[in-house]
Chains A and B, each alone.
Chain A
């Protein structure tokens, strides 16, 4: 199947490739699975591109496609269910700096959230407005606001718990 590949599409995908990587980091742990889901995202982006409206923001549209692909992939993937998380899953080395440690802790806390809440917190961390998050998820702005309060509390509690365990271990 030879279909024309729009250069503008390739350029925009490469400019926003971080979106696809962040979505896969949030939802998937195995390296093979991550590689596979990234390819699936590229494929779905290419298939959906004719629907992309030029006046819309490419990054918002790319978040939608990548999140929808991740959720579908998650549903079909059996391997993902039983795989235990290990530190290197989140690109953290033993000598990782403080910034990486914080991000790893954040990833660990996010891991316990539901699939929908994961997408909401990802978009929040990406500095999207409530309106943009509502646009990507299909939820109302007020619902996003209420959910975010709950999600933030959950994450902070998780992190507090983790920090206390670590500190107790040191003493």
Chain B
């Protein structure tokens, strides 16, 4: 038997797959829903706290510097500037995770869309956030690393970066390299790989 039509008959007559025992009652379904909601919230919140903790550290450090060195105008101004630099990213992050964390039945859930539309939408959402994140990181990371090193040298070393230019540059490069390594690894895992997989599905649709 090599004709697909004959296999189709066997397929419709084969009850092995459809005659299982896993039907659901209200209690079992409610249990599953609770479990999955908790699991999804846990995954979202793990990433949220990882990103948010870093921002809390930056805000705490800058606030501390602002309060303690209020009389030192350049330090205060630079600290305020650096804080303002982080605000849009924090707002964006909070908005994104607010949507993820509030897991309720709503009219925005898209799993009922046709497959192509669903995959395209997922791709567009992820790609737009990734584009924003990359552009922002390209400016934010070098700039905030430079500012933090400048503040550190200004507060703790007499003469600041002007007195120790090579040490300042080395510190800046080390900070930048470690931040970049972490960001590249994070982007690969959370953005580039999922986007590549979604691209594959979309390419398959285009064939």
Contact = CB atoms under 8 A, between A and B. Distances in A.
A49 B3 CA distance: 38
B205 to A, nearest CB: 6
A48 B113 CA distance: 10
B195 to A, nearest CB: 10
B156 interface: no
- A-side interface mostly: helix
A27 B11 CA distance: 16
A160 B2 contact: yes
A75 B7 contact: no
Nearest to B102: A1
A41 B121 CA distance: 19
A49 B14 contact: no
A59 interface: no
A18 B16 CA distance: 10
A135 B24 CA distance: 27
Contact of A99 (B10, B36, B109): B10
B109 A47 contact: yes
Interface string A100-130: 1011011000000011110100001101000
Interface string B6-17: 111011111011
Contacts of A119: 115
Contact of B105 (A47, A152, A155): A47
Interface residues of A, number: 61
A103 B16 contact: yes
B4 A156 contact: yes
B17 A64 contact: no
B9 to A, nearest CB: 9
Contacts of B36: 39-40, 42-43
Given A5-B30, A39-B36, A21 B20 contact: yes
Interface residues of B, number: 52
Contacts, number: 159
Interface in B79-137: 103-107, 109-119, 122
A71 B119 contact: yes
A64 B112 contact: yes
Contact of A50 (B105, B115, B119): B105
B118 A68 contact: yes
Contacts of B201: 71, 115-116
A137 B105 contact: no
Contact of B17 (A22, A45, A72): A22
Interface of B: 1-4, 6-8, 10-14, 16-18, 20, 22-26, 29-30, 32-37, 103-107, 109-119, 122, 194, 197-198, 201, 204-205
Interface of A: 1, 3, 5, 7, 10, 13-14, 17-18, 21-22, 25, 38-40, 42-52, 61, 64-65, 67-69, 71-72, 75, 91, 99-100, 102-103, 105-106, 114-117, 119, 124-125, 127, 135-139, 152, 155-156, 159-160, 163
